[in-house]
Amino acid sequence: MKHIKGRARLAAALCAGLLVTLAGCGVGGGGGEAATEKTKIRFSWWGNPERAELTQKAIDLFEKKNPGIEIQPDFAEFEAYWQKMATEMAGGGGPDVLQMDYSYLKQYASRNLILDLGGQASKGALTLTGFRQGLADTGKIDGKQVAVPWSGNTFAMLYRPDIFAEAKVDLPKKGWSWTEFHATIEKLSKAAVVKDMKGAGDYTGVYHLMDLWLRQQGKSFYTPDGKLGFGKEELRTWFTQTKQFRDDELLLSAQRAAQLDPKPALSADAVAMEPNWDNFIGRYVGEAPDAEFAIGPVPSLKPDTAGLYLKPSMLLSVSTRSQQPDAAAKLVNFMVSDPEAAKILGTNRGIPATEAALAALELNDVDQMIVDYEKSVADLMQPAPPPPPAGAGTIEQAMRDISEELNFKRLTVDQAVDRFFTEAEQAIAAGTD
Amino acid sequence: MTQTTLTKGPARRGAGPRRAVAGPAPGRSDARAGYLFLSPWIIGMAVLTLGPMLASLYLSFTNYNLFNTPDWIGLENYRKMFADDQFHQTVSVTLRYVLLATPLKLGAALAVAIWLTQSRRAMGLYRTAFYAPSLLGASVAMAIVWRALFADDGVQDQLTSSVGLGIGGWVGNPDYSLLMLVLLAVWQFGAPMVIFLAGLQQVPRELYEAAEVDGAGRWRRFVSVTLPMISPVIFFNLLLETVHAFQVFTSAYVISGGDGGPAGSTLFYTLHLYQRAFSDYRMGYASAMAWVLLIVVGLVTALLFRTSRAWVHYAGGSR
């Protein structure tokens, strides 16, 4: 009995000790803050350790140029980043400056979580000019500058010129039609330069390509108020486009694609073409150094309207809760427009959004390829669509899943269309609540 | 059980003099010490388990996306859930998994446990070897290895092709991908196996000897002696593994890259719940899903307990 009591006392003493230490930490932290009196800015972004290293170098330079400001950086992978951000923001916290994605912009702006930087711009803490074509307005919602574009990219047809040459097929060229695109797929699949290599995968699961196809008809995937911009008839046409190819097995099979996942089919010798964002080429070159890659334009319904636009691939926003909006705006400005920062950051986040930052860069071969492509289609570029509604991520995934089920022949085109509309309407309703 | 013996032992020894001096006080301070030792668990339970559970029960009746103040909508989430086709698909995928994985895993565990009770050389080595998969199985690395085994031209493809079934790798085939996850679960039979082993060693030898004298063969002895004698252990394992199977998540999450593919064939209930909560931020809806799962698992457990009266034999009990 005594023994037990003794232990209890010991445990109590240990607990008490722990509490004292915790309290001690708290006091110590408070004291330190009071002593330095630096403006502290929390800055969060998503990315990998390589990006973290480059970002840290840029932050070091910023702190050297602005001795009164101290940056507290943190980062996570994309998915974890947004989970953490949502939780922190919901709890009333969050960073001062955050890396923003176009698909989250509307959600954060409509909940009044990100600051209108117009005030900081008029005070001179932030320059909002000098953006590349069409990017300037992409950070605005209802006239409020809730984000500043940091980098931009364009949709494209990524392909393997070495395979095209061997199969003796014409390369994608500006103004090529969907019919030519389909003929190219067929020729490449029949040539099968590498065993089982197809011309392309079933592109009907690629929601950004459908968006371009709709834009070529003067429509859009989403209306400005965040509803679906097309009806069942358009989607039926879209899914039917590749039906014959699916039946004749001229596309990358869903089975093979599922096995390759998460490896992309283009760098795995499984397809010769892939519609995707032009900056993905950097990743593919890294993954398959022996293969040749090139960037071409997407097919179009009319040669002069490709529906293309420069999309902000990353933006920077300042939290409405920030106690130091001026210092935060300064950091945003530095990251986006400072030539020295641009040199450090390179094209890790894509091609910079401002002309000044782009001019400061020394481009490698791959970067040059992207810049050249964007220049070559400059006359086809249109203004970017408004940011997508809050459920857009779910809808993008639904499009991919439903197209996959079409390829497994688990759905007919009509069933696929109905299921897409059910799921999309649910996602949009849930996003606007 | 152990607690009572621990406290009773010394109390009885020092009963006489102690009671005269301190009266009932030691009992109370015993309790206090007990609670003090329990406090980490009690605090953890209240703050980390009960609190969030009650919060999620409340949220399940609301519309909540992390940013808004939860908005009371009554049973709307539950109504939407039962009207959602994807929800029905996840239920069917999960039930098929539970019905396949649980019996197969228990069967494998029992068979190996019986084999391991026979004395052989290097028995310890075998026991360790059969337990090892359970240590590895829940890991992300194992799920990746599994993917490779079941890819085109992988081990499984070569085996099935050699017996004339040219169906390709199961990873990319929605008709077989669930079976692949079932096999991953079955392969991790180590934990129930160890419990079966303990149970088998408790069966009195003389029962077997008596049965043998009565002319019972191997099978007869298994059915009439072994099974009834270890039925409490079977029941325990069945309960544990069923509950466990309902909660399957990691293997499907890693193997399908988080989307439950191909073609939704591995979209388990928990995976769907995770997507709704952390991709769509539909926290109210996801909480409702979690509560439905809890209720269903609770009902299944109650049902198992009820049937157990008919087949579980407790030695020394009235049955």
Q: Do B262 and A433 touch (CB under 8 A)?
A: no
3-state helix/strand/coil string of chain A: CHHHHHHHHHHHHHHHHHHHHHHHHHHHHHHHHHHHCCEEEEEEEECCHHHHHHHHHHHHHHHHHCCCEEEEEEEECHHHHHHHHHHHHHCCCCCCEEEECHHHHHHHHHCCCECCCHHHHHHCCCCCCCECCCCHHHHEECCEECCEEEEEECEEEEECHHHHHHHCCCCCCCCCEHHHHHHHHHHHHHHCCCCCCECCCCHHHCHHHHHHHHHCCCCCCECCCCCECCCHHHHHHHHHCCHHHHHCCCCCCHHHHHHHCCCCCHHHCCECEEEEECCHHHHHHHHCCCCCCEEECCCECECCECCCCCEEEEEEEEECCCCCHHHHHHHHHHHHHCHHHHHHHCCCCCEECEHHHHHHCCCCHHHHHHHHHHHHCHHHCCCCCCCCCCCHHHHHHHHHHHHHHHHCCCCCHHHHHHHHHHHHHHHHHHHHC
Q: What are the residues whose beta carbons fall under 8 Å from the beta carbon of B54, sequence distance 6 or more?
A: none
- Chain A from 106 to 145: CB within 8 A of any B CB: 107, 111, 113
Q: Do B282 and A86 touch (CB under 8 A)?
A: no
Question: A184 near A348, Cβ under 8 Å?
Answer: no
Contacts of A86 in chain B (CB under 8 A): 66-67, 281
CATH number of the domain where residue A324 is located: 3.40.190.10
Contacts of A404 in chain B (CB under 8 A): 261-263
Q: How far apart, in Å, are the Cα atoms of B212 and each of A167, B113, B116, B208?
A: 76, 21, 21, 6
What is residue B12's predicted lDDT score, i.e. its pLDDT? Answer: 44
What residue segments make up the domains of chain B, in order of their start?
2-59, 78-311
A236 and A131 within one domain: no
Q: Do A255 and B173 touch (CB under 8 A)?
A: yes
Q: Do B263 and A261 touch (CB under 8 A)?
A: no
> Which of B39, B281, B283, B287 should be substituted to probe chain A, the one whose Cβ sees the most A Cβ atoms within 10 Å?
B281
Where chain A has pLDDT below 50, the residues are 1-35
Q: Do A426 and B10 touch (CB under 8 A)?
A: no
The answer to whether residue A22 is domain-embedded is no
CA distance, residue B203 to nearest chain A CA (Å): 38
B78-311 folds as MetI-like fold (1.10.3720)
Contacts of A87 in chain B (CB under 8 A): 66
A428 and A327 within one domain: no
Q: Is B153 on the interface with A (CB under 8 A)?
A: no
Its sign, for the CA torsion B278, B283, B287, B288, is: negative
Q: Which of B172, B281, B285 sits opposite A258 (nearest CB)?
A: B172
Contacts of B31 in chain A (CB under 8 A): none
- Chain B from 55 to 114: CB within 8 A of any A CB: 63, 65-68, 71, 84-86
What is residue B153's predicted lDDT score, i.e. its pLDDT? Answer: 82
Q: How far apart, in Å, are the Cα atoms of B155 and each of A138, B134, B145, B176?
A: 51, 21, 11, 15
Q: Which residues of A352-385 are buried (b: 16+ CB within 10 A; e: fewer)?
A: bbbebbbebbeeeebbebbbebbeebeebbeebb
CA distance B68 to B54: 19
CA distance B206 to B196: 19
Residue B285's DSSP bridge partners are none
CA distance, residue A259 to nearest chain B CA (Å): 5
Q: Do A86 and B67 touch (CB under 8 A)?
A: yes
Tokens of A407: 């390829």
What is residue A269's predicted lDDT score, i.e. its pLDDT? Answer: 93
Q: Do B262 and A111 touch (CB under 8 A)?
A: no
Q: Identify the domain containing residue A103 by its residue range.
A: 37-152+311-376
CA distance A431 to B233: 49
The answer to whether residue A24 is domain-embedded is no
The answer to whether residue A17 is domain-embedded is no
A182 and A59 within one domain: no
CA distance B182 to B103: 11
**Cis check: omega of the bond before B262, within 30 degrees of 0:** yes
Cα B2 off chain centre by? 25
Number of structural domains, chain A? 2
Q: Which of A11, A83, A408 sits opposite B36 (nearest CB)?
A: A11
pLDDT digits over A249-275, tens only? 999 999 888 888 778 899 999 999 999
> Which of A15, A108, A259 should be substituted to probe chain B, the one whose Cβ sees the most B Cβ atoms within 10 Å?
A259
The answer to whether residue A194 is domain-embedded is yes
Q: Do A258 and B171 touch (CB under 8 A)?
A: yes
> Which of B43, B65, B255 should be substituted to probe chain A, the one whose Cβ sees the most A Cβ atoms within 10 Å?
B65
Q: Is A369 on the interface with B (CB under 8 A)?
A: no
Its sign, for the CA torsion A161, A164, A170, A174, is: negative
Where chain B has pLDDT below 50, the residues are 1-23, 318-319
Contacts of B173 in chain A (CB under 8 A): 255
A163 and A145 within one domain: no
Q: How far apart, in Å, are the Cα atoms of A52 and each of A77, A89, A348, B58, B290?
A: 11, 22, 10, 40, 36
CA distance, residue A165 to nearest chain B CA (Å): 29
Give the ranges where chain B is alpha helix by DSSP (H). 2-13, 15-22, 25-44, 51-59, 76-83, 85-117, 123-136, 140-149, 155-162, 177-187, 190-202, 205-213, 218-221, 227-246, 250-255, 269-278, 283-311
Q: Do A401 and B264 touch (CB under 8 A)?
A: yes
- Chain B from 21 to 50: CB within 8 A of any A CB: 26, 29-30, 32-33, 36-37
A315 and A293 within one domain: no
A259 and A144 within one domain: no
A252 and A240 within one domain: yes
A293 and A183 within one domain: yes
Q: How far apart, in Å, are the Cα atoms of B166 and each of A331, B140, B266?
A: 60, 29, 22
pLDDT digits over B112-137, tens only? 999 888 777 777 888 888 888 888 76
Q: Which of B29, B174, B282 sits opposite A408 (nearest CB)?
A: B174
Q: Do B259 and A397 touch (CB under 8 A)?
A: yes
What is residue A36's predicted lDDT score, i.e. its pLDDT? Answer: 57
Question: A85 near B278, Cβ under 8 Å?
Answer: no
